Amino acid sequence: MRNPVRASIPPDRQVLGPSNVESRFEAQHQAGTSPLLGREEELELLLRRWGQAKRGEGRVVLITGEPGIGKSRIVRALRDQLTSDPHTSHSYVCSPHHQSSALYPHAMQLTRAAGIERDDSAGVRLDKIKTLLAQSSGDLDQDIPFIAALLSIPGGDRYPLPQMTPQHRKERTLSALSAALAQLAAAELIFQRGVPPDATYQFKHALVQDAAYTSLVRSRRQQLHGQIAKALEQQFPEVVASEPEVLAHHFTQGDLPELASLHWLAAGRASLSKFALSEVVHQLRLGLGQIELLAHGATRDRKELDTQLCLGNAIVQSKGVAAPEADLAFNRAYALRTMLSRSTELIPVLFGILINSLIGGQPRRALEIAQEMVSSTQGDRQAELVANTMLMDVHFWLGNFERADHYLSRAMPLYNDESDIHLIKSYPFDMKMVNLIYVSHFQWMMGYPERALRTKADADAWAKRLNNPFMFAFADIWGSGVFHYAGRLDEHRQQLQDGIEISKRIGMPFWVAQAEMWSAWNQASAGDRSIEPIALFKGALTQYAGTGSGAIVPYFRALHADALSKRGDTSSALELLQTALDGIEAHGEAVHAAEIHRIRAVVLARDGVERYDEAEPDFIKALAVARSQRAKAWELRSATGYGQLLKELGRASEARDLLKPVYDWFTEGFDTKDLKEARTLLAVLSAANA
């Protein structure tokens, strides 16, 4: 700044750019400081600690206190005393404008250390980073792309950023920072706890609201913030593009809510693209707070609709698809639908309400919303893609597999790999991924296990192309169902481990809870008869319900019941199964109804010969449901279980006549667990009838 002043900028002064000094204290004392008075005891203590550190004893000193009491002045005095001692000094300065940018202090320190100027070209900036990192980085070509991205410098063809998930990119960035700041860590001026990528770092907090700022009247502070924001817009486009939260902060403090809400939305969308989920929710809620200050009318309503929709999508990914907060956001957006210029713009709003209802365990309500979707497409290809995908999804949960297959055949040809992959910016799910994963489920249920596994492989490959953590979790956890159905425990377990890892790192409790329910079944199926899988089932079901979710709960209750039965707790098992069946009756989630009846029959039969008569009606019901759904896989399991019961009752001929036509229908998957068991039983029954 030319001729800087503290409270105002006269008309003949001009803001040229940010200063290179590291903190406001340094900026205010470039001409020197007055003598330090009355702090001899504190300074002596610091010097003693320094002496102990030099002797290898290791010391940390934390200076705290109210703004303006001289904390920075004491630190400056200590640094002046150490001029004759060999040492490395680093300062990290936080900013209230960057509360949503955890690595901002690092980025600014590296910018200063590299000597990067505002007018430097991208190429010059990259050269300066290379020179800086050459002092400590072991692999420049791998580290520079991540440091450049952190500093919002385009790497271009020279240092392209590798394709990877945002979480892995964050880990690599932290790794590169760790290498670049090795000397700092060695000097114990930065403190690391844990091992990267899960390490945490603590820096000196040097920025506080000083007396000059707080002494200004509110109207003057607002005026200055507004001037700063407008100057940034006009003269620093790189800040507008890379740090919209800075403008949002200044417009907020400047009492300019219309502009503030615009930039909070931009900041939220930027955070969502980086999968900084807690940050995006915070930023969007700040934006909504600004929108509330606007006059009622079309402008306010349109801004709120856009912000509520983005907030709903962020909550879906951070708290769960059926989270109550997401339902509030989507329904508020729906209430503002008169602001939409075209009915096709309603599709993302309806999508949010639909998935919230569907995963909340209300497929019948979801069907009504899907039908409203169809009436709103107006011939728009992408709208029809979304509507048909959702109809496929809803009919799957209702157990209408042929209808689901019908809508799948309409949805998949509409998806364009090049253009529609970008729809994930407007929806939390990619439509092709949704279709592939659900298809793998109902292909298996309809009796095509090999096709189901091939489809799952296609889904995994597409997840890599999407490079989206939420979709990775979706593919790994819900997609693991095909391995569950096929009884391929090792592959199922590996998929769940991968999904849990990414879900915990990103912070997606919905996926963690679902994965742990699957894991409980896997443990029990692997022969674990201890209390551990039982406890895991119970805890995961509670956690899953805590996210607002109800979908697939009846099936998981049935799997939990089967595990209890194997431990001899028939009473608790039957109670859970009845609750599961009541849920199906109440809400219509019939996708696993046949299997739940079969499990109930097995639990009863397992309890002893005297309960065979009670088990038989459930086997018959399971067969009837499977046949009505044309779910050949469920029919085969039920026929095999019922056939075994009939054999025990001395009705081997009846058992063979029941099982053989079902087995003979299959044309693939003969090495799967279910077909092997059916084939073995048929051989026994044939011998008994010989």
How far is the C-alpha of 406 from the C-alpha of 429, rounded, in Å?
Answer: 21
Please determine, for residue 91, whether its predicted confidence score (pLDDT) is greater than 80.
no
CB 533 within 8 A of CB 524: yes
Specify the length of the chain in residues: 690
How far is the C-alpha of 289 from the C-alpha of 249, rounded, in Å?
Answer: 12
Instruction: Please give the structure tokens belonging to residue 255.
Output: 């009492």
Q: Give 592-689's CATH code, choosing from 1.20.1740.10, 1.25.40.10, 2.40.160.40, 1.10.357.10.
A: 1.25.40.10
For 192, the 3-state DSSP assignment is strand
| 446 CB-near residues (< 8 Å, 6+ apart) | 401, 405, 630, 631, 632, 633
How far is the C-alpha of 594 from the C-alpha of 43, rounded, in Å?
Answer: 77
Buried b (16+ CB within 10 A) or exposed e, 460-477: bebbeebebbbbbbbbbb
**Averaged over 27-56, what is the pLDDT?**
71
Buried b (16+ CB within 10 A) or exposed e, 557-576: bbbbbbbbbbeebbeebbeb
Q: Which of 337, 313, 430, 326 is nearest to 382 (CA)?
A: 430
How far is the C-alpha of 345 from the C-alpha of 333, rounded, in Å?
Answer: 11
- Please indicate whether residue 610 or residue 181 has the higher confidence score (pLDDT): 610
For the stretch 385-404, pLDDT in tens is 999 999 999 999 999 999 99
Please determine, for residue 42, whether its predicted confidence score (pLDDT) is greater than 90.
no
- For the ranges 129-133, 152-156, 161-165, the lowest mean pLDDT is seen at 161-165
- For the ranges 24-28, 59-63, 208-212, 555-559, the lowest mean pLDDT is seen at 208-212
- Show me where the domains of the chain are located: 216-310, 340-429, 592-689
For the stretch 504-548, pLDDT in tens is 999 999 999 999 999 999 999 999 999 999 999 999 999 999 999
Residue with tokens 């010097």: 47
Instruction: Please give the structure tokens belonging to residue 165.
Output: 């998930």
Entry pTM: 0.73
Q: What is the dihedral of CA 488, 489, 490, 493, to 10 degrees?
A: 120
How far is the C-alpha of 552 from the C-alpha of 497, rounded, in Å?
Answer: 20
Please determine, for residue 473, whether its predicted confidence score (pLDDT) is greater than 50.
yes
Q: What is the largest CA-CA distance in the chain?
A: 109
Instruction: Please give the structure tokens belonging to residue 489.
Output: 């425990």
